[in-house]
Structure 1
Amino acid sequence: MEPIASQPVELRHVVAMPWPGRGHINPIMNLCKRLVRRYSNLIVTFVVTEEWLGFIGTDPKPDRIRFATLPNLIPSELVRANDFPGFVDAVHTRLEEPFERLLDRLDSPPPTAIIADTYVLWAVPVGERKNIPVVSFWTMSATILSLFIHSDLLISHGHALFEPSEDEIVDYIPGLSPTKVRDLPPLFDSYNLRVFKKAKLCFDTIPRAKCLLFTTAYELEPKAIDFFTSKLNIPVYATGPLIPFEELSVGNDVTEPDYIKWLDGQPESSVLYISQGSFLSVSEAQMEEIVKGVRESGVRFIWVARGSEKKMKEALKGSSGVVVSWCDQLRVLCHKAVGGFWTHCGFNSTLEGIYSGVPMLAFPLFWDQILNAKMIVEEWRVGMRIERRKKTELLIVRDEIKEVVKRLMDRESEEGKEIRTRVCDLSEICRGAVEGSGLSNANIDAFVRDISNMN
Structure 2
Amino acid sequence: MADDEGRHQRKVRHHFLLVSYGFQSHINPGRVLAHRLARLGGVDGGSISVTLSVPAATYRCMFPSPDADAAEATTTDGVISYVPYSDGVDDGSMPRDAADRAVRRRATSASLSAAAARLAGSGRPVTCIMCTVVSLPVVDVARELDIPVAVYWIQTATLLAINYHYFVHGYSELVAAHAADPAHELRLPGLSRPLQISNLPSYLTDMSGSESAKAFSEVFQEFFQYMGQWQPKVLVATLDELEPDALAEMKRHVEVFTVAPMVGSSTEARIHLFKHDSADKKRYMGWLQAHPEKSVVYVSFGSLSKYTKHQMDEIVGGLRQCGRPYLLVVRRDGIADDDDESRSLEKRTQSQGMVVDWCNQLEVLSHPAVGCFVSHCGWNSTMEAMVSGVPIVGVPNMFDQPTNVLFIEEEWEVGIKAERSGDGVLMGTELARCVELVMGEGAKAMAIREKAKALKEIAQAAAAVGGSAERNLRDFVKAIPCQNQ
TM category, shorter: 0.7 to 0.9
Q: AA paired with 1:244?
A: G
Does residue 349 (structure 1) correspond to residue 364 (structure 2)? The answer is no
Corresponding position of 1:170: 186
Matches within 5 A, 1:256-405: 257-307=282-332, 311-315=341-345, 316-388=348-420, 392-405=422-435
Q: What residue identity is the alignment partner of 1:103?
A: A
Q: Which residue of structure 1 lines up, in the alignment, with residue 460 of structure 2? A: 431
Aligned residues: 436
Q: Deviation string for 1:108-144 (max 9, x for gaps)?
A: 2222222223411131332232132221221221111
Q: Residues 47-86 of structure 1: matches in 2 within 5 Å?
A: 47-57=53-63, 62-71=77-86, 73-74=88-89, 76-77=91-92, 79-80=93-94
Provide the C-alpha distance between the structure 1 equivalents of 2:178 and 2:23, rounded to a whole number of angstroms. 32
Shift of the alpha carbon at 1:169?
2.0
Deviations 1:43-99 (A, max 9, x none): 2222122211122237x974131111223524633x54x959888656534301111
3-state SS, counterpart of residue 374 of structure 1 = helix
Structure 2 residue 117 is the aligned partner of structure 1 residue 117: no
- How has the CA–CA distance of structure 1 residues 43 and 358 changed in structure 2, closer, same or farther, with 3 Å as cutoff? same
* Conserved? CA contact 2:315–2:427, under 8 Å: yes
Q: Is the 8 A contact 1:133 1:454 kept in 2?
A: no
Alignment-derived partner of residue 15 in structure 1: 17
Code of the residue aligned with 1:201 in structure 2: it is E
Deviations 1:221-262 (A, max 9, x none): 221111111222xx3101111112274599xxx786111111
Partners of 2:478 and 2:445 in 1: how far apart?
Answer: 44
Counterpart-to-counterpart distance in 2, 1:71 and 1:341: 37
Q: Secondary structure at the match of 2:136?
A: coil
What is the deviation of 1:265? 0.9
Whether the aligned pair in 2 keeps the contact of 1:9 and 1:39 (CA below 8 Å) is: no
**Structure 2 residue aligned with 1:130, among 142, 145, 149?**
145
Cα 1:165–1:93 shift into 2, 3 Å: same
Give the aligned residue type for 2:35: K
Match 1:24 to one of 23, 26, 36: 26
Percent identical across equivalent pairs? 28
Partner of 1:4: none
The answer as to whether partners of 1:175 and 1:225 remain within 8 angstroms in 2 is no
- Give TM-score, length-normalised by structure 1: 0.87
- Tell me which residue corresponds to 1:202: 223
Displacement of 1:326 in angstroms is: 1.4
For each residue in 1:299-319, what CA deviation from the matched residue of structure 2 results, as whole angstroms up to 9, or x when unmatched? 211111112596334233344
CA–CA separation in structure 1 for the residues paired with 2:178 and 2:423: 22
Specify whether residues 156 and 52 from structure 1 end up closer, same or farther in structure 2 by C-alpha distance, changes over 3 A only.
closer
Q: How far does residue 286 in structure 1 lie from its aligned partner after superposition? A: 1.9
How many Å separate the matches in 2 of 1:337 and 1:85? 48
Deviations 1:200-224 (Å, cap 9, x if unpaired)? Answer: 1111222525411112222222211
Once the two structures are superposed, residues 350-372 of structure 1 have per-residue CA deviations (whole angstroms, 9 ceiling, x without a partner) of 11011110000101111111111
Paired AA for residue 199 in structure 1 = F
CA distance in 2, matches of 1:392, 1:116: 38
Q: Distance in 1 between matches of 2:199 and 2:90?
A: 31
1:419 match: 448
- The answer as to whether partners of 1:272 and 1:338 remain within 8 angstroms in 2 is yes
The yes-or-no answer on 1:160 pairing with 2:140 is no
1:101 to 111, 114, 129: 114
Partner of 1:5: none
Structure 1 unaligned segments of length 5 or more: list them. 1-7
1:206-225, aligned counterparts within 5 Å?
206-207=227-228, 208=230, 210-225=232-247
- 1:139 paired with 2:154, answer yes
Q: Write the distance in 2 (CA, Å) between the matches of 1:227 and 1:342.
A: 31
Let me know the Cα RMSD of the aligned residues: 2.8
Structure 1 position 335, deviation (Å): 0.4
Q: Relative to 1, partners in 2 of residues 1:275 and 1:220: Cα closer, same or farther, differing over 3 Å?
A: same
State the AA in 1 paired with 2:439: M
1:452 is displaced (CA, Å) by: 4.2
The CA distance in 2 between the partners of 1:414 and 1:155, in whole Å, is 41
2:260 aligned with 1:240: yes
Gaps of 5+ in 2: 1-9, 65-74, 271-277, 335-339
